Amino acid sequence: MSETLVNLMIEGRPVSVPAGTSILEAAKTAGILIPHYCYHPGLPVAGVCRMCLVEVEKAPKLAPGCATAVAEGQVVRVYSDKALEARKGVLEMLLINHPLDCPICDQSGECELQDYTFQEGRADSRYREAKRFNPVEDFGGDVMYVPNRCILCTRCVRFMDDIHHDPVLNVSERGDRAYIGKAPDADLTQPWAANVVDLCPVGALLSKDFLNKARAWELDRTASVCTGCSQGCNVTLELREQQVVRIRPRGNTNVNKFFMCDHGRMDYKWLNRPDRLEVAMAGDTAADWEIAIGAAAKALKGKRAFVVANASLSNEALFLLKRLVAKTGGAGYFNVPKGEEAPLPGVPDLSLRADRAANGTGAGLLGFTHEAKPLTKVSAGDVVLLVNVDPHAAAAESLAKADAVIVIGTTMPGIAKSPAAVLPIANVAEEEGTLTNLRGRVQRYLQAKAAPGMARPSWFVLADLLNAVGDKADYLSASAVFDALAASEKAFAGMSYDTLALSGIESPAVRAGATA
Amino acid sequence: MGYPQKSHPRETPVLSKHFGEGEGRSLDGWKKRGGYKALEIALNMTPAQIVDIVKASGLRGRGGAGFPTGVKWSFMKPGDGKPHYLLCNADESEPGTFKDREIMRWTPHALVEGCAIGAYAIGAETAYIYIRGEFQEPIDRMEAALKEAYAANILGSNAMGTGKTINVYVHKGAGAYICGEETALMESLEGKRGNPRIKPPFPAVSGAFGQPTTINNVETLVAVPHILVNGAEWYKAMCLSNPKSTGTKLFSVCGNISRPGNYEIVLGFPFKDFLYDLCGGPTTGRRFKAIIPGGASVPIQTMDEAEATLMDYEGFVAQGTMLGSGGVIVFDDAQSIPRQVARLTRFFAHESCGQCTQCREGTSWTTRILDRIVAGQGTYEDLDTLLEMAENMTGKTICVLSDSCAAPVVSGLQKFRHEFEALITGKRSSQSAGGSQATAGSSKLTVGAGA
């Protein structure tokens, strides 16, 4: 791919970008964010808000940065008096009909209208007339429309038209009577529709689920990966007082661009479950960690570890389980629940996958066997380890064939009647780890909150267990477990938490396998 | 000629020669008047030859911008393997303009012929005539003429027996002023909401249906057959002032004037003679106060400026305004300029498509402030706000609708500021103290505000 580079100056800084890049994107490479509303890198250019007007030397008029391509030798001034005056004018006009109800608006604190007005706008308004009023409308799905706050940037309309390919939103009426209309009998229940809430730069489109739950500045945000399916969308967990209150997509051009599906977005409440395993147990007795681990090791002595692993466990946990299986001559299984596939038509290779678990690929790479009803394979001499799974009650008969059962999990599986040991572990929001998506991209998730009670990260618990059965596993961090994994597993060779960073790396082994 | 007025001796009727003659509407009647000779000539030339003749004639776009037609046509590259389109802009919605309507009502075949020649010249096999939806009679006339032209094999897959394909269709607008903007017209033609597009790409690169497209005004296309029959030199010789403005132009005259109507004059004609001689001057007992000479989108002229104007593209610019569409709106001394400006901005606020912030919010805010001033509730700060807002509405949006809204505000405030101030201070404007209904209304409100 040969790219012609164009050289220009933006606010006195030299910039080199591929031909065809917009001034707005070129400015980003120089660390300058040109204020804008209608422009979004994941959507077609509309050029309607006129907020990104900049001065281009020798051009007769101010140019919209989003819709003007760079040219060789161009001299762009973002903060000239002329450009600032024009943007101040746009801001004043955007605000004349905008209710100043920030104190009761969910968007407050993460509102681009607030941000740019604070940055470049007027301190007061000269508007003395009545403001436009339209009633709030329920758009269906998770979306609520507050037309009075709408600045008609049309991001939502373009998302539904050009990305979702289901054009149910439109601009109705014209002039200052315009508002976002919804096709009659159509609700925003499409699988990816709630992205319009993230795309809305102001408080016009709101999540009904998040409504009035928190102020933006109260939220603690942590980078994570969605475990709703095998796509592995990059997300941000947003917590208020140790409770996850919202999940939003985190940009990753290689995985999910700027989007995530509604299934993943709404799949966070289990992270706050109150019915968690909080105490380690040896037999029926609450016990210290050392005693509980000892009980588990004792049960495993001379037996085969029969591991049934949750397909959303981290690569680290699966790696340690794999070693446990090897050490005891056992077997490892996982099962991936299925759902309906729901692609986002406007983005290649982005879909809510039918595989509704985050790490089926990782489990496969680490030698686990996919099996819909793994417990039917249990025989005498097996010690079943239920690792964060809750098998159907019908499997109780098969489970009875096992010599013993060890529960390692966040909640108690109903099927485990008298386990030899119960080892409580952290969930995905409470520990650090990595997941491998369906394209073999290994991606990190970070710890967002503390685990309840005695629960410990899965890698911590499994490393202790491995030590107790005599396979040395003295790891002090998830990162150290991953280093050991990378050293011994070809698919992860050369990777480390530092090189994965927050956007992940595609496993070369998987890529080679996919093309072969 | 100024139908229904009789042609004035100082007019030069070329395009309007057969206005009022019902027989000219039919194919036979039109042929009797020399129709379709130009198309025959054109189809025996190469497209490039036609473009050269039109270039040499100096014909410029009659829709408002005045871009040289031949140059515009030369942007099209016949034979580039893509379908080309000719669009005829007949969405005549500019307030004060009604020339295209009369062309289509009386001489529909002239437009069919102009479209056919234009299409051939730019390598298009298809031409669309986008007619304003309210123009029911012109739509009927055009459709009848097209039917005749197809039946006579003037159009179709063997146009005039030359084996060339020329199809012309009528497309009816749905009542939006903005669809007269060329790219909004294309969106509308494609069946979308009529929102102007960002340029570039320009229509010659990506126009209707994403293909190379040329768009011309009705009057422009209708002038082309005359140029082909009589020659570029003949057309170029019709010039009374600046050599860059050639040929005849129709002016639609309305407002407070004795003989409103359409008048066709050679470009460069003195505006003073036009107003007082051709159009008969003000109505009895009145004096002219101000003129908007080129449709609602151009700046207002004082009478001093208007009377010094030579009527061509450069002449109007020299006197603080633009030729525009040629819709002359005349105000006499009974009219209140603030009220008239408010009336104009209300039109633009109503017609703004609402895409660009400055236009969507600015046109409406401007109107609200002006309404308040006219109601006697204005302040001096309002005048500053209006001017600053007009600056923010000029040259900053996708199309020029917001510029058009700002033009009468700025020119009105520059040239008739005393009338705005009189409303603010509570004194009635001395100029508007006449007995018209409008003035009576405004004075009542002013008194009410003072009480």
Q: What is the chain A residue with the closest CA to B194? A: A174
Rg value, chain A, Cα: 27
State whether residue A421 sits within 8 Å of chain B by CB: no
pLDDT value at position A361? 96
Q: Around Cβ A212, how many Cβ atoms within 10 Å?
A: 9
Percentage of residues of chain B with pLDDT beyond 70: 94
The yes-or-no verdict on residue B138 having pLDDT over 90 is yes
Whether the per-residue pLDDT at A145 is higher than 70: the answer is yes
Instruction: Kindly state whether A96 is in contact with chain B, defined as any CB-CB distance less than 8 angstroms.
Output: yes
Report the chain A residue with the minimal C-alpha distance to residue B346: A175
**Cβ of residue B363 closer than 8 Å to a chain A Cβ:** yes
Report which of A28, A3, A8, A12 is spatially closest to residue A70, judged by C-alpha positions. Answer: A8
Nearest Cβ partner of A48 from B176, B355, B361?
Answer: B355
Chain B positions touching A90 (Cβ under 8 A) are 357-358, 392
pLDDT of residue A319: 98
Contact B354 A175 (CB under 8 A): yes
pLDDT one-digit tens code per residue, A360-389: 999 999 999 999 999 999 999 999 999 999
Q: What is the dihedral of CA A204, A209, A213, A216, to 10 degrees?
A: -50
Give the nearest partner residue to B352 out of A45, A93, A174, using CB atoms: A174
Residue window 170-229, chain A: list those with CB within 8 Å of chain B.
170-171, 173-178
How many angstroms separate the CA atoms of A175 and A178, rounded?
6
Q: Residue A175 and residue B349: Cβ atoms within 8 Å? A: yes
**Inter-residue contact B112 to B24 (CB < 8 Å):** no
Indicate the residue of B350, B368, B395 with minimum beta-carbon distance to A175. B350
Length, in residues, of chain B:
451
Length in residues, chain A:
516
The distance of B356 to chain A (nearest Cα, Å) reads 5
Q: Give how far A112 is from chain B: nearest CA, Å.
A: 15
Whether the CB of A48 is below 8 Å from some CB of chain B: the reply is yes
Given a cut of 70, is residue B445 above it in pLDDT? no
User: Model's pTM, two decimal places?
Assistant: 0.93
- φ, ψ (nearest 5 deg) of residue B230: -100, -10
Whether chain A has a CB inside 8 Å of the CB on B406: the answer is no
User: Which pLDDT belongs to residue A513?
Assistant: 61
Q: Does A124 touch chain B (CB under 8 A)?
A: no
Chain B residues near residue A174 by CB distance under 8 angstroms: 176, 178, 351-354
Q: In what order do the strands lie in the sheet with A53-56?
A: A13-18, A5-10, A75-77, A53-56, A63-64
Closest CA–CA distance from residue A195 to any residue of chain B (Å): 22
Which residues from A are below 8 Å from B364, CB to CB?
Answer: 175-176
Q: What is the mean pLDDT of chain B?
A: 93
Query: Helix (H, G, I), strand (E, B), or coil: what is residue A444?
Result: strand
Task: Find the mean pLDDT for residues B93-101.
Answer: 96
- Give the H or E element holding residue B339: helix B337-351
Q: Does the beta carbon of A126 lie under 8 angstroms from any beta carbon of chain B?
A: yes
Euclidean distance between CA atoms B49 and B59, whole angstroms: 15
Cβ of B354 within 8 Å of Cβ of A89? The answer is: no
Dist. CA A162–CA A130, nearest whole Å: 35
- Could B363 and A86 be called an inter-chain contact, meaning their C-beta atoms sit closer than 8 Å? no
What is the spatial distance between Cα A312 and Cα A363, in angstroms, rounded to a whole number?
9
Question: With 50 as the cut, is the pLDDT of residue B109 above it?
Answer: yes
User: What pLDDT digit, counting tens, does each position of A226-251 carry?
Assistant: 999 999 999 999 999 999 999 999 99
Q: At what angle do helices B47-57 and B108-121 cross, to 10 degrees?
A: 120
| B359–chain A nearest CA distance, Å | 8
Question: What is d(CA A54, CA A86) in angstroms, rounded to the nearest whole number?
Answer: 9
Contact between B84 and B166 under an 8 Å Cβ cutoff? The reply is: no
CA dist B3 and B102 (Å) reads: 8
Mean pLDDT of B27-32: 97
Q: Residue B357 and residue A126: Cβ atoms within 8 Å? A: no
pLDDT tens, B69-87?
A: 999 999 999 889 999 999 9
Task: Give yes or no for residue B230 having a pLDDT over 80.
Answer: yes
Of B361, B381, B398, the CB nearest to A93: B361
Q: What is the model's pLDDT at position B300? A: 97
Interchain pair A50, B391: CB under 8 A: no
Confidence band, pLDDT 50/70/90 cuts, at residue A514: low
Cβ contact A353:A341 at 8 Å: yes
Buried-state track B120-159, b at ≥16 Cβ within 10 A, e below 16? bbbbbbbbbbbbbbbbeebbebbbebbebbeeeebbbeeb
User: Chain B contact for A51, CB < 8 A?
Assistant: yes
Across the interface, whether the CB atoms of B364 and A176 are under 8 A apart is answered yes
- Asked if B49 is an interface residue toward chain A (Cβ–Cβ < 8 A), one would say no
Interface touch B354/A49, C-beta < 8 Å: no
Residue in A97, A126, A128 closest to B361 by CB: A97
Q: What 3-state DSSP class applies to B217?
A: strand
Q: Give the number of C-alpha atoms closer than 13 A to the C-alpha of residue A346, restricted to the C-beta side.
A: 19
B372 CB within 8 Å of a chain A CB = yes
Distance CA(A238)–CA(A221), nearest Å, equals 5
